[in-house]
A and B are shown apart, each in its own frame.
Chain A
Amino acid sequence: MSEYVIRFFLGGIAVSAFAMVGDILRPKSFAGLFSAAPSVALATLGIAVYLHGAGYAAVQSRAMIAGAIALAIYSVVVCQLLVRARLTAMPAALISLVVWLMVAFGLLAMFGART
């Protein structure tokens, strides 16, 4: 239980810190780099190394490669939905999650998952 409390606070702090840095930076396209900052990854990999060792964190970071490719495609889809389909931010971001899931799990299936 305490492990998940620590996870919650570390993740919350990391995400808030990167988000605030993004908030104060201009132009907006540059600030957007911080919307895709590895904040959750830093917190999670830190805990993974502490609890399970470097090998476990290596497997997680290997799978993260697929997640990051999916994130790039996801962001482009969100951008297109906002500009061309003129959706508002929340539905565009939520609908595009389907794309992220398909690409991320597709890549993992193609290149093999190691648990």
Chain B
Amino acid sequence: MTPIRISFSSLREGRPYEYLVRFALGGAATVVTGLISSDYGASIGGLFLALPAIFCASATLIEKHEIRRKKETGLNGCRRGQQAAALDAAGAALGALGMLAFALVFFIVVKASISAAFVTASIAWLVVSMAAWYARRKTRPRLR
């Protein structure tokens, strides 16, 4: 049985402004990357394609949701919130390996075919991220 599950209930935990914040942060990160590229060149701008700007917001929201959930049951929830954010960070470290694969594949393929570069790089991201997660799960079964 696959350990991966889908839970739509967590979407109801989010406040509308939280989705707006994510949208604005994502848009701002993309605009800033474009500005950096045009001012300092493609290399410096390229670095910022992997800037963890969105991660800051995601980790904070995950922590907040966990604290809110625990407080509803009368518990403090601060430590649990930190642990939930830490799990997200551990996952992000593995996801970064997928992002590395994305960048490598895109760099190799883009000069031959632009559309193939986007497709193969995205597949590489998914495959490497998931493989890293499964490998980590096998070696550290405590990850939940």
Is B110 within 8 A of A40, CB to CB? no
| Residue count of chain A within 8 Å CB distance of chain B | 86
The answer to whether A41 touches B99, judged by C-beta atoms less than 8 angstroms apart, is: yes
Interface string of B78-119 (1 = CB under 8 A from A): 110111111111111111111110111011001100100110
Q: How far is the CB of A29 from chain B (nearest CB, A)?
A: 4
Minimum distance in angstroms from A18 CB to a CB of chain B = 8
The number of inter-chain residue pairs (CB within 8 angstroms) is 341
From 75 to 115 in chain A, residues with beta carbon under 8 angstroms from any chain B beta carbon are: 75-76, 78-79, 82-83, 86-90, 92-94, 96-97, 100, 104-105, 108, 113-115
Residue of B nearest to A39 (CB): B26
Residue of B nearest to A63 (CB): B46
**How far apart sit A106 and B22, CA to CA, in the bound complex (Å)?**
29
* Number of chain B interface residues as a range: 35 or more
Structural contact, A30 and B7, CB atoms closer than 8 A: no
* Other-chain residue from A25, A65, A87 in contact with B107 (beta carbon distance below 8 A): A65
Render B2-42 as a binary contact track against A, CB cut-off 8 A, 1 for contact.
01111110110010000100111111111101110100111
Chain A residue at minimal CB-CB distance from B128: A33
Q: Which residues of B contact A76 (CB under 8 A)?
A: 89, 93
- From residue 53 to 89 of chain B, which have CB atoms closer than 8 A to chain A? 53-56, 58-60, 62-63, 78-79, 81-89
Inside 8 A of B30's CB, which chain A residues have their CB?
7-8, 10-12, 14-15, 40, 43-44
- A residues neighboring B (CB under 8 Å): 3-4, 7-16, 19-20, 22-49, 52, 54-72, 74-76, 78-79, 82-83, 86-90, 92-94, 96-97, 100, 104-105, 108, 113-115
> Which 5 A-B pairs rank lowest in CB-CB distance, beginning with the nearest?
A32-B91, A15-B26, A11-B30, A63-B46, A67-B50
**Chain B contacts to A: CB under 8 angstroms:** 3-8, 10-11, 14, 19, 22-31, 33-35, 37, 40-56, 58-60, 62-63, 78-79, 81-100, 102-104, 106-107, 110-111, 114, 117-118, 121-122, 125, 129-130, 133, 136-137, 143-144
